[in-house]
Amino acid sequence: MALKKAKGNTSLNPKRVGTRKPKRRYLIFCEDTYGGTTYFSRMKEEHRFSNVSIKVGDEHGEPYKLVRAAQKRQNSTHRRRSDQGTEYDEVWCVVDVEAPKSHESLDRAAQLARDNGIKIAYANPCFELWLLLHQGDVGGYLTSSQAAAKMKALKCCYTEGKDFDPSHFVGQPQQDAIERAERLARRHEGAAQPWGKNPWTDIHVLVRQLLKDA
């Protein structure tokens, strides 16, 4: 009696092995204890990234000091074994240009970042511009104080300590901010340096990458 042929062909159908990609680890340094620190901490909490690990750096300061702190952290993790989960795939600094007078250390910070493979996300004049883009388009030149005043005028989030309620800056508002920042980028395509573009930011590049890698 002929044996009943088994269904399928095991040689052609090997047991599927999980192909989930490993987490991409980001270290993000921000200039202040609110602003970017609050934003990226909430983003991490809100999205509960399954495939992205975000560590917000605990040191803050003007651009060169910030990049220097990121470099030190980067170097210390490189000295450890990657299988201990201490190395980062990407290190970013979120930097305010400031206006009407730009930070004096922007050039030095940019050079130090390039020399060490650290990426910088700029906001000109300041991080408040990125937050404003979650709520609407921003057109004309802004000083740092004007950007802060516009944030306060929204009355949805700003506190006396310049911190804000991050629940207004996730979901669809975040997608809208990315699109608005892209429009600003196209408007300033001819300017070579971030401090020559106002209003302008490329924080959306970092945010979009985090969302893509999640």
Nearest Cα residue to 120 out of 131, 132, 105, 142: 105
Distance separating alpha carbons of residues 120 and 110, to the nearest angstrom: 8
25 near 91, Cβ under 8 Å?
Answer: no
Q: What is the pLDDT of residue 4?
A: 47
Question: Position of tokens 């983003």?
Answer: 43
Q: What is the pLDDT of residue 81?
A: 47
Q: What is the pLDDT of residue 90?
A: 94
Q: Per-residue confidence of the chain (214 residues) as pLDDT tens digits?
A: 444 444 444 444 444 445 556 789 999 999 988 889 889 988 888 878 788 888 988 888 899 999 999 999 988 876 554 444 458 999 999 999 999 999 999 999 999 999 999 999 999 999 999 999 999 999 899 999 999 899 888 866 666 666 677 777 888 999 999 999 999 999 988 777 888 899 999 999 999 999 998 8
109 near 120, Cβ under 8 Å?
Answer: yes
Q: What is the pLDDT of residue 46?
A: 82
Q: What is the pLDDT of residue 164?
A: 75
Q: Which domains are assigned to the chain?
A: 24-213 (3.40.50)
Q: What is the pLDDT of residue 138?
A: 95
pTM given for the model: 0.83
Q: What is the pLDDT of residue 171?
A: 87
